[in-house]
Every structure is written in C-alpha cells, then in structure tokens.
Amino acid sequence: MSPQIAAASIESYLTFLFGVTQRVTIREGEKVVVLGAGGGIGLAAVDVARSQGAEVLAVASSEEKRALALQHGATHAIGYDNLKDEIRAHTGGGADVVIDPVGGPAAESALRALGAGGRFCVIGFASGETPRLPANIVLLRNRMIVGIDWGDWSREEAALSGNARLLDELYRRIAAGELHPPEPAVAPLADAGRILTTISERKAVGKYVLVP
C-alpha cells in the first residue's frame, strides 16, 4: 500500500466502515444505491458495499465518474435524470439501501425508490443543499433513515479505541485484497487553492493528496 493510498483512504473508508459496523447492516445480495459515486466517500461506499456482497448501483454526474465507479466494483452506473424510475428499473422494483453523501433534490427521489424495509443513509450534503425529506414516505413500506456521522462519533472519548480498531480493519482488508482504494491524485501543497475550487465545483474525481 502506498503512503498516498494510506493517507487518502482514512476519512472516506473509515466513514463507511463505521457505517456498516455501527449504524446499518448491508447483507449479501442486497441492492445498494450510492449517490455521488464518483467522489471520495462515494467510491469508498461502492467498494465497501461490494465487499459485503451487495449489488451496487452507482449514481454519478458524468461519464468519467460513472466509469470510475464501475472500475471499483459497481454493478451498474447511471446519471441523475429520472432518478427514482431508473433506480427502480435497475433494482427490480426498489433498493434495499441508499447511501447519500450528496443531499439536494436527488435525496427525495432516491428515498422514494427504496423498497419495503429499505434504509436511507445520510452521510453528508456535498451539493450544498440539505433536503427536507417527507416523513410519510419513510412511514410507507416501513422505510428507515439512518445518520452516519463518523466525525461526531470520533470526537467521543470512548471512540478512540474504536477508531484504532477500524483503522486496523481498513489496512488489513486493503492488504488482503478485500478493499481497493483508488490511487489518489497527488498535487503540491501550493496548489491547495486550485484543488479546493475543483472540489467546491463538484468537478473532483476521487481523492487528492497534497504534498509539501
């Protein structure tokens, strides 16, 4: 494992490893939808869900990002047009789990595409827009909304040893070939402003590592 992969995988992969060990169960054969699948968190979610035996439907805004998600284990990849209907068509009527680090209008469409007993996981709001999700859609068909906030959990004193265990598990699974974090883009620290602009404009693909 390169130092760049070791550095770039910590936040995104620990977020989702925390999610699948502490907050939500993903079972073998379940249909998992990942929004924002071309970003760092999204690619980690694709990889971890695949490693759990799930069929992963990646949702991303460009052909480049969709191709990257397919390379990292997604079964299918789609854009955001007609999202609810597209998810239902690709999952045989409804998803078991939706992973949402994006927020915005796509969130409600994906929530409505959940099947019976489906779990909607809120990880963040990369779109800059916090969605207002209708409670009646959660009630119908016994759906569930789950928050996954690794950062908040990490700040708890009791989580220190838990983070150490998660990090050990992450690096063990990478070394064993169970997880495959992509090699990040590497840029000089002086380019930090340019990289942050790229991220804020949602043009980033994968993760970046800045070096002195």
- Domain CATH number, residue 87: 3.40.50.720
Q: Does 73 map to a domain?
A: yes
| Residue 43 predicted with pLDDT over 80 | yes
Distance CA 5, CA 154 (A): 21
Strand ranges of the sheet holding 31-34, from the earlier edge strand across to the other edge: 76-78, 55-59, 31-34, 95-100, 114-122, 144-147
| Residue 187 predicted with pLDDT over 70 | yes
pLDDT at position 155: 83
Q: Does 132 map to a domain?
A: yes
pLDDT at position 139: 97
* 52-90: burial string, b at 16+ Cβ within 10 Å, e else: bebbbbbbbbeeebbbbbbebbbbbbbebeebbebbbeb
**Sign of the CA dihedral with 174 first, then 186, 189, and 198 last:** negative
Mean pLDDT computed over every residue of the chain: 93
Query: Which residue would you say has higher pLDDT here, 82 or 2?
Result: 82
When pLDDT is averaged across residues 104-113 and rounded to a whole number, the result is 97
**Sign of the CA dihedral with 38 first, then 90, 114, and 153 last:** negative
DSSP letter assigned to residue 197: H
Element (H, E) at 199: helix 192-200
3 state SS of 92: coil
Q: Are 11 and 184 contacting, i.e. CB atoms less than 8 angstroms apart? A: no
* Structural domains counted in the chain: 1
49-99: per-residue pLDDT in tens? 999 999 999 999 999 999 999 999 999 999 999 999 999 999 999 999 999
Distance CA 59, CA 67 (A): 11
Q: Does 176 map to a domain?
A: no
pLDDT at position 183: 84
pLDDT at position 159: 67
Q: Does 168 map to a domain?
A: no
Q: Does 98 map to a domain?
A: yes
DSSP letter assigned to residue 22: I
| Residue 3 predicted with pLDDT over 90 | no
| Residue 15 predicted with pLDDT over 80 | yes
Q: Does 57 map to a domain?
A: yes
Q: Does 186 map to a domain?
A: no
When pLDDT is averaged across residues 186-193 and rounded to a whole number, the result is 90
When pLDDT is averaged across residues 95-120 and rounded to a whole number, the result is 97
Q: Does 68 map to a domain?
A: yes
When pLDDT is averaged across residues 108-119 and rounded to a whole number, the result is 98
Q: What is the separation of C-alpha 38 from the centre of its chain, rounded to a whole number of angstroms? A: 9
Half-sphere exposure of 171 (CA within 13 A, CB side): 14
The residue segments making up the domain with residue 25 are 3-152
